[in-house]
Amino acid sequence: MNLFETIFDNVLTDRIAILYEQRRISYAELRDQTLATVRVLCSLGVERGDRVALLLNDSPEFIAAFIAICSYGAIAVPINMALRSDEQQAILNDCTASFAIVEEDLCRTMLVDASNKFPRLTTVVVVSRQEGTREFSTGETTDQREQPIVPSIRVHLLAKLLSESGQAAATGVAFPDENQPAFILYTSGSTGEPKGAVHRQSDIFFTNETYCREVLNLRHGDRLFSSSRLPFAYGLGNSFTFPLLNECTTILCRPKPTPEVIAKVFADYKPTIFFAVPVIYSLLLADQKNRNSDSALDCSSLRLCISAGEALPAQIGEDWEKGFGVPVLDGIGSTEMLHMWMSNHEGEVVYGSSGKLLNGYEARLLDPEGSPTPPGMEGNLWVKGASAAMGYWKKPEITAGTFVGGWVRTGDLYRGDSNGLWFHMGRSDDCFKSSGQWVSPVEVEGVLLRHKGVSRAAVVEDFDGDSLPCACAFVVPADVSANHAELETELRELTRSSLPRFKQPRRYVFVDELPYTATGKIQRFKLRELLRVESATS
């Protein structure tokens, strides 16, 4: 199967594919741009199997480049723009990309001492968004910015290459083997160094046949907007796979998705399906408390809201549906599996659960010794399905420990019930024992978030005065002027009435913010490190 043909064959050419910065880009325009990008790849000497890094904001240029690279037979490597420069550098070097398509405002910073930082990089194509430059036009643009910054690296303007490609010989798309790598997505790094999951084009089609068909049930005229970005596996499905494989419309947004930006997107483009991570729903709810009714978030166009990335606390889901009248369907997926394999379904939402296993996937719970856990008991979740990655890029030992006999170890601790519902207990590495019994940070955080004075919370393992393990809660108050002592007293009373003693936090640390990955996951390992450093210096 080929992305180019699947997206563009038989679609009505005047149908709108992308809404972006007050522009309406049709499927015909996107098709022409993609073919022009294929010709650009050919002119640059990109060959089948070459890695082409994408350091681009969510934009039409990203979409056209991704389709072109995969359909041409090269390997696309999207890199999250929200990562630090050293993290982007590490990923670019790890995938050994010789080619990169880069936002102009990032290019010159990135290429300082590039010959030392990027020993494999030979060609950079710059996407300029300066006034007067339209990357989706074929008009000539100035080449003043197309100057060599590093002698060993060729730098080109995309607009100029696209213009020149019109005179180039016609170049069609290839037909890569179904088992050929098409793109590499890097994990979020919530537990340490990111790893590149290698995927095929067929993996994309499988997520469309499973999650999209079973959960989203897309309709003619649906407009999909995701606050999670395209380089994130979740965002790639939301903003690329599902809308474009089903002749719908994707809404793309370059700025960081703050509450103000999201409110403007809702007002301007009227999405029908909204995708976000739990922290975004929490921020939007908090933002609404500070607004009057005349400036409330307009959710009138929405028929579904989707959450993933981390388990959605039940309180947030309930508050959202109560406040806006739209259910939030929580689910779980991963970079290794490309998208979600469990989800709540419309009309069957159970807040606090990840819903039910999707058709086409298998799941099992194993104890640390690899034996099946008894019914109703938590265990390490393993999943199986045709969207699984081929493995991690150039990491055979880690691959062997994660991809075993067709099964993928998720690293999540789960339990199931007799109704087929699955409940996330936390990451296996984040759960810990207190008084000899397992503590799920997710469960404790869910209780803390019931308190109206708590905006966000994260629970990690700590140690008491006798060096025995116990729970510590990091809390972001909803009110910056809140009296911490009073709030702690109320939280202790709440947890005392809701949790057994061994799960109740022994210590509370009040902070202004929690550390998150670029994809919205709490980095609990950083909080544990803070406690270790504090303990060592006290």
Query: What residue ranges do the domains of the chain occupy?
Result: 3-8+21-174, 199-427, 432-537
Average pLDDT of the chain is 89
State pTM to two decimals: 0.85
pLDDT in tens, 358-367: 999 999 999 8
pLDDT number for residue 223 = 98
**pLDDT single digits (tens) 441-474:** 888 999 999 999 999 999 999 988 878 889 999 9
Give me the pLDDT at residue 114, please: 65
Predicted confidence band at 112 (pLDDT cuts at 50, 70, 90)?
low
Residue 401: CB atoms within 10 A of its CB come to: 10
Alpha carbons within 13 A on the beta-carbon side of 485:
0
When pLDDT is cut at 50, 70 and 90, the band that residue 227 belongs to is very high
The band of 288, judged by pLDDT with boundaries at 50, 70 and 90, is: confident
Q: Which pair of tokens denotes residue 23?
A: 């522009």
pLDDT of 169: 53
Q: Mark 485-500 as b/e (b = at least 16 C-beta within 10 Å).
A: eebbeebeebbeeebe
User: pLDDT tens digits for 371-389?
Assistant: 999 988 889 999 999 999 9
Enter the CATH code of domain 3-8+21-174: 3.40.50.980
Query: Is 170 a residue whose pLDDT tops 60?
Result: no
Spatial contact of 116 and 93, defined as CB atoms under 8 Å apart:
no
Q: Taking Cα atoms as reference points, which of 19, 9, 443 lies closest to residue 253?
A: 19
Looking at per-residue pLDDT, the higher value among 468 and 235 belongs to 235
- Average pLDDT score over residue span 505-526: 89
The pLDDT assigned to 485 comes to 95
Query: How many Å apart are CA 229 and CA 252, to the nearest integer?
Result: 9
Report strand pairing: 249-252 vs 437-439: unpaired
As a whole number, mean pLDDT of residues 24-47 equals 95
In the block, tokens 């972001």 appear at 476
11 pLDDT above the threshold of 50:
yes
CATH class given for the domain over 199-427: alpha beta
Per the CB < 8 A criterion, the answer to whether 318 and 325 are in contact is no
For residues 323 and 285, is the Cβ–Cβ distance under 8 A?
Answer: yes
Averaged pLDDT, 165-186: 76
The beta strands (E) that lie in 200-244 are given as 223-226
Least confident of 11-25, 33-47, 300-314, 513-527: 513-527
Give the pLDDT score at 294: 56
Burial of 337 (0-12, 13-18, 19+ CB in 10 A): buried
In this structure, the number of other CB atoms found within 10 A of the CB of residue 74 comes to 25
Pick the CATH number of 432-537 from 3.10.310.30, 3.30.300.30, 3.40.50.280, 3.40.80.10: 3.30.300.30
Tens of pLDDT along 392-450? 999 999 999 999 999 999 989 999 999 999 999 888 888 888 877 778 888 899 999 99
Q: What angle do CA 182, 185, 187 make, to 5 degrees?
A: 155
List, for residues 56-75, the tens digit of each pLDDT value.
Answer: 999 999 999 999 999 999 99
Paired sense of beta strands 356-357 and 340-343, if any: antiparallel
Residues 328, 313 contacting (CB under 8 angstroms):
no
Strand 99-103 and strand 51-55: the pairing is: parallel
Domains 3-8+21-174 and 432-537 share a fold: no
Kindly give, in sequence order, each residue whose CB lies less than 8 Å from that of residue 465, ignoring residues fewer than 6 positions away. none
